[in-house]
Each structure stands twice: as C-alpha cells, then as structure tokens.
C-alpha cells in the first residue's frame, strides 16, 4: 500500500507568511464608501427665462435627468446645495437678453458657469423646440465640452462689470443714432405724402425755421412732436460722444483715420486684445473671413461668413475707407493700391472688406505691443511734440 511522506514542519517558511491585514474601523469604511459614492462632477444645463429657469442635471456619465422648473432665486440656492453632493458643479446657459448676472452669481458661489453662443439644438430637424429639450441638450453639450471636446459648444467671453458698462455706453449711443435716422425718415415721409419736400436734418434750428413757414398747420402739427424728440436725441448723442471720447487714448498713440470715437467703440467691443493668440483668431472674431464650400479636390470660397461681432465689423469697414484717404503708406494698403485705382465700385468694396480684416490684425498687434505705428507704415493722428 502506497504511503504518503510526512511533510516536515518548515519554520522558516511559516515565519515568512503574510500577516493578516489590520482591521479597519467602521467609521473609516463608511467614509471610504461615501467617498466612492460621490460623483466627480454634476453638469447643469439651464434654459434661462425672466420668471423661471428650466434645469437639467447630468451626474458623471449617467443619462440626463428630467427637467426641473424653478424661480431664479430658488435656482441659485438649489445650485449651491449641489456642491454638497459632489466634488464639482459646472453649468452653462445661452447668451441672450439676460446678460451675465446669473453667471456672476454662480461664480461668486464657487460654481463654474459658462455662457455659450446660442444655437439650434434641433440637430435632427424634428421641428420640436421646448425649454426642456434645450436644457437637456445644454447639459449634454456641457459634459462633452468638459470631457475635452471643445467643439461641443462655443463659450462666450464674460466681460468684467466695468468693461460691460463702458460697452453699454457706446452701444446706447449707436441706438440713439439709429433712432434719429428712423424719426428723421419718418418726418420726411410725412412731408412727401402731403406734397412737401422735407429733406436733410430738418429738425435742426436753422432747418426748422426755414421749413415751418412753408408747411400747412396740419403737417406742422404732425412734425413738431418728432422735432422735439429729435432735438432731445441730438443732445443725448452729443453727451454720450463726449463721454466716450474722453476715454480714448492719446492722439499720438492711435493711427490717423481712427478717431477717438471709433477707437473706443472698437476697444469696447473687443474688451481685451490679449484674448487672441494669433491673427487667425482675430480675423475669425470679426466675421470678415471668406465662407468656404470645399469637398474632394475642389475648393470654393465665397463672400464673408459674417460669423462674428457685427458692430466691430461695421466700424472696421468704416475706418478702412478713411485709411485709404489718410494712410497712403499703410503696408496693407500698398499691396492693393493698384487694384483700388482700376477696380470697379463692387470690387473696391470687396477690397475694403479684405483691408478691414487686415486692419483688425494690425490693431491687435498695436494693442498687444507686437509692433509700432511706424512698423505698419501708419501715421499717428497727432505727431508727438
């Protein structure tokens, strides 16, 4: 009968055996379990309205939760409570008429909040748009953006309070100017319907004195209220103009053709020239880049895409026409001067738009210290004494 050898008791091996793990306290285990259950991040997509906010919450990689509706003051308190549930809270809402007040409130509470460019979230073309759907799409886009997909949404730069107030002043002046044009055209239209020529700035003191004696009483009664409004608007425009020009840089530091009013308007729209890392970003912000439809081996470029700040675009184009007259040595202009001489009116406008894009790049270089006026072939508005 086979016998099994008796194993010797190896004391050296027994001494090298691993000791049992130390016992962990119940409190430590519960703390570790609670930490493991905490989500890493909560994403909040907010559809902002005046009387209520519609919010969708997405926790980590889970699906988006159903939308919740709450009043603005309730939402801020609720969003702060979310910080106790996780390590980080991130939210976003679309830029619009409600400004940046909500973003500043949430940022002050320690919550990361993005203001994003509005877009059509109905990517499948279902022709269904609701606040809940928008909030859900915002939450999902935010999660993709935080995961590294920077094309998921376009983040809008939030200005500082002082920057926003300066920009509001220049934009208000522009609104006043548009209103003057509208009311002035209204008065001219009233005159035409009654067979009278009401031309130019008819509401000014000299113009009204010469016109009022020729008008019948009924037409004069119609035009007089418009005249009073226009006179008051002229005064407001003059006051805002003086306020804006007082903030402009010295005439020795800005190029000739870029007046104090235009310079301040451009700066107030850009906010911070150092936000751009290269000339491509500057050109893209102006919306003066050509559109493109290319596929396969074909490439076709069209008119400008207008995908940027429209106010900045208009001011740049206006400034270029002055540069063509007042800055003959501008290096950008020298490359196109022959085309401007022989070109038709339509082609000259296209060249002016191209120069406006180059002007934006040159202003970026000037305001970031990359070059001087002399480097660009520009003359200062006023020579240094």
Task: Give tens-digit pLDDT for 148-165.
Answer: 999 999 999 999 999 999
Average pLDDT over residues 270-298: 93
Task: Give tens-digit pLDDT for 176-205.
Answer: 999 999 999 999 999 999 999 999 999 999
pLDDT band of 384, cuts 50, 70, 90: low
Q: Are strands 68-70 and 53-59 parallel, antiparallel or unpaired?
A: antiparallel
**Full-model pTM:** 0.82
Judge whether residue 376 has pLDDT over 90. Answer: yes
Q: Tell me, rounded to whole angstroms, the distance of Cα 189 from its chain centroid.
A: 37
Q: Which fold has domain 37-146?
A: Nucleotidyltransferase; domain 5 (3.30.420)
pLDDT band of 340, cuts 50, 70, 90: confident
pLDDT score recorded for residue 199: 92
Judge whether residue 206 has pLDDT over 50. Answer: yes
**Domain residue ranges of the chain, discontinuous segments joined by +:** 37-146, 161-245, 260-290+305-376
Closest CA to 119 of 101, 92, 99, 143: 92
Residue 180 has which token pair?
Answer: 């003057």
Residue 377 has which token pair?
Answer: 């072939």
List the single range of 9-18, 46-55, 68-77, 272-281 with lowest mean pLDDT.
9-18
pLDDT score recorded for residue 342: 79
CB 282 within 8 A of CB 364: yes
Task: Give tens-digit pLDDT for 21-31.
Answer: 444 444 444 44
List the single range of 28-32, 86-90, 171-175, 252-256 with lowest mean pLDDT.
28-32
Judge whether residue 292 has pLDDT over 50. Answer: yes
């Amino acid at each position: 009968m086979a016998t099994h050898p008796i194993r010797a008791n190896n004391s050296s091996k027994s001494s090298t055996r691993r000791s049992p793990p130390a016992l962990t306290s119940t409190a430590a285990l519960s703390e570790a379990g609670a930490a493991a259950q905490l989500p890493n991040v909560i994403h909040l997509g907010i559809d902002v309205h005046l009387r209520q906010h519609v919010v969708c919450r997405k926790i980590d990689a889970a699906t988006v939760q159903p939308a919740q509706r709450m009043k603005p003051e309730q939402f801020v308190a609720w969003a702060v409570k979310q910080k106790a549930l996780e390590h980080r809270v991130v939210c976003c809402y679309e830029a619009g008429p409600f400004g940046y007040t909500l973003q500043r409130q949430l940022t002050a509470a320690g919550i990361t909040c993005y203001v994003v460019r509005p877009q059509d979230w109905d990517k499948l073309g279902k022709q269904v748009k609701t606040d809940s759907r928008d909030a859900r799409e915002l939450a999902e886009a935010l999660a993709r953006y935080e995961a590294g997909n920077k094309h998921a949404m376009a983040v809008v730069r939030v200005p500082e309070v002082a920057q926003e107030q300066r920009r509001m002043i220049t934009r208000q002046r522009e609104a006043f100017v548009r209103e003057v044009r509208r009311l002035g055209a209204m008065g001219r239209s009233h005159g035409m319907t009654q067979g009278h020529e009401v031309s130019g700035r008819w509401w000014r003191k000299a113009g009204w004195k010469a016109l009022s004696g020729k008008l019948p009483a009924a037409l004069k009664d119609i035009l007089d209220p418009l005249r009073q409004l226009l006179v008051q608007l002229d005064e407001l425009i003059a006051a805002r103009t003086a306020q804006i020009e007082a903030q402009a840089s010295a005439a020795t530091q800005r190029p000739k053709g870029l007046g104090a009013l235009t310079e301040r308007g451009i700066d107030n729209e850009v906010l911070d020239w150092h936000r751009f890392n290269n000339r491509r970003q500057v050109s893209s912000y102006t919306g003066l880049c050509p559109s493109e439809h290319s596929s396969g081996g074909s490439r076709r470029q069209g008119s400008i895409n207008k995908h940027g700040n429209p106010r900045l675009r208009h001011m740049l184009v206006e400034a270029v026409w002055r540069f063509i007259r007042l800055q003959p040595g501008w290096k950008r202009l020298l490359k196109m001067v022959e085309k401007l001489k022989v070109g038709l009116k339509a082609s000259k406008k296209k060249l002016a738009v191209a120069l406006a894009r180059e002007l934006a790049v040159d202003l970026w270089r000037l305001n970031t210290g990359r070059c001087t006026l002399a480097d660009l072939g520009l003359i200062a508005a006023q020579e240094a004494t």
